[in-house]
Homo-oligomer: A and B are copies of this chain.
């Protein structure tokens, strides 16, 4: 009864527990003969090492933890892929957790991760206060993804939202647009950067910025368009939306009033979610290198774990534009 332990394997193979431990960790200082005997015994007993006992004894963990603020957002799914790939390539296991975009739940989630004493943790799009992040960073190397921080103890990996909006504006300007509005992401993560980038790009092109308050949802996007229509001013010929959801909401509100996208109004999204790629939507949008962000986050943690670096690292990745069917030269 009970799962077999290292002791059981040792007894069966006729060696000591320590030798089994060496074999399990792939040590070179074991004779081939003994190694085979141990592996055979382990196989026969269906033995697999007890990760918790191991990390308790070694005081060094081979586990990385990641708190995903929002599992519904496919954005993070791809960041996780990148994390996973980089972690497992270095022999680390990744365990996940979710915080549901609620500060208190995220806090508990982070505590729960830390209770496993992981080698490091990644927080993906966390909404917790900086103090919570600081106290987590005091317990294990910590990296933030999609969240900036000036803390000297945490690393960050972000998309350069300012540059991303700039790409969108430049693309539209190149198509011949001059009246380009921006739907602002409100208090969504990174939204102020995106707004800043939009305003800067407009000014750089000698154009007048027009920012409409909105949020990171499709209903908010639709509402913003209706608000824009009610102004009675001539409608812009192009829209730089806060993100993809926001863009899709804007598109449907435009179409509701008989306007056609992109014939009457061009629309650019942000994030290049799977939604944008659907042929029914086919949204021109700004792509963040999500997979790469995950990979860099994992590498940042591993560098800290190995003591190769102790100052904070802040990476800003360059987004790129994905041109699809919702942008075209203005008809007017």
Binding site for B on A (CB under 8 A): 3, 46, 48-53, 55-56, 71-72, 74, 76-78, 80-81, 84, 88, 93-98, 100, 108, 111-112, 114-117, 135, 138-139, 218-219, 222, 245, 248-249, 251-252, 255, 274-275, 278-281
Contact = CB atoms under 8 A, between A and B. Distances in A.
A280 B281 contact: yes
Copies in the complex: 2
A94 B97 contact: yes
Nearest to A100: B81
A108 B72 CA distance: 24
Given A97-B94, A98-B80, A248-B280, A116 B52 contact: yes
A3 B135 CA distance: 12
Contacts of A252: 278-280
A21 to B, nearest CB: 15
Secondary structure call for the A interface: helix
Contacts of A116: 51-52, 95, 116
Nearest to A275: B275
Contacts of A71: 71, 74, 76-77, 80-81
B97 A49 contact: no
Contacts of A117: 3, 50-52
Nearest to A251: B280
Contact of A72 (B74, B245, B279): B74
A81 B111 CA distance: 18
Given A48-B115, A72-B74, A84-B98, 20 more contacts: A3-B117, A49-B115, A50-B117, A51-B112, A51-B117, A52-B55, A56-B56, A71-B71, A71-B76, A81-B100, A84-B100, A88-B108, A93-B112, A95-B95, A95-B96, A95-B97, A218-B279, A219-B279, A249-B278, A252-B278
